[in-house]
Amino acid sequence: MLQDRPRVVVTRKLPDVIETRMMELFDVQLNLDDHPMSKAELFEAVRTADVLVCTVTDQIDSKLLSQKGKNLNLIANYGTGIDHIDLASTRQHGMTVTNTPDVLTEDTADMTMTMLLAVPRRLTEGERRLRAGEWQGWSPTSMLGHRIYGKRLGIIGMGRIGTAVARRARGFGISIHYHNRHRVHSDTELELEATYWESLDQMLARMDMISVNCPHTPATYHLLSARRLKLLQPHSIIVNTSRGEVIDENALTHMLIAKEIAGAGLDVFEHEPSINPKLLALNNVVLLPHMGSATHEGRVDMGEKVLINIKTFVDGHTPPDRVLGEVSQLTT
């Protein structure tokens, strides 16, 4: 059990209501200007903190943790994904890691569905043309896209978010297909009229749209490799609101340039915040700055989970959102 007011270092700016509550409960160091912490700042944080509240922009690796102070025993991640944290190293140091599951499911699924609409209907391309003064009025053959009703959607990773995407897509008359490490419950399949594909390769070759909803783990790095991307049909589109590392971004870019697939919607990137300049030049791609879960409600809900996890740990109990080990290969 930690001291009554443990020292909590927060690496990025959080919603005001969350920071205020943290100040009431703990001895807190905030990041008021929201700058990404440098390596030197992170080293200082792990040396002095009892609890580190980190985000996806912080690389919590073995080198960093080797410099941790004796009192740092909890990493309370502000976010669901934990691929930026070296879990093996935290276990070696006897540390507890928590995250914020469940609260981002609906927001991320909303954004996924938005991109599944935006890419085939060329929404952002049309908006850019309008702002540039290039629109000359309605024409029967201008800005033609493709309907999504009746199309087949292949979901990679049928966890919480993948299932929420499927429920939305069903409302648009889309046929649901999925690939997952394990088959989902028969009741879920029945509700969604979903078809399970044990072979990812076979599913990719038959879909009109692909939604990537699996986490980034060593097993899913470049899961959509150049070879697998070549299996997609020329009219197909791919949407990724998960992690950029799941797709071979260079191979995807080359295929989009060559029009070997019709389009893509990307909210995440392999080397973010750096973006391949070739992607920026394409009209058949919708690009967003990792904002799939960016809602006021979601960010506050995440903060409340962080508060509960810290307070529970401080009180000498197991936090409700403790990360027990590697996340499963294809669920999120």
Catalytic residues: 243, 272, 290
The greatest distance separating any two alpha carbons of the chain, rounded to the nearest whole angstrom, comes to: 70
Q: Give the sheet arrangement for strand 175-179, strand by strand.
A: 195-196, 175-179, 152-156, 209-212, 237-240, 263-266, 285-287
Of 32, 37, 35, nearest to 48 (Cα)? Answer: 37
Residues near 203 by beta carbon (within 8 Å), at least 6 away in sequence: 154, 177, 178, 179, 197
Q: Structure tokens of 66?
A: 């080797």
* Three-state secondary structure call for residue 85: strand
Q: What is the DSSP letter of 244?
A: G
Amino acid occupying residue 322:
R
Q: Which residues contact 127 (CB under 8 A, 6 or more apart)?
A: none
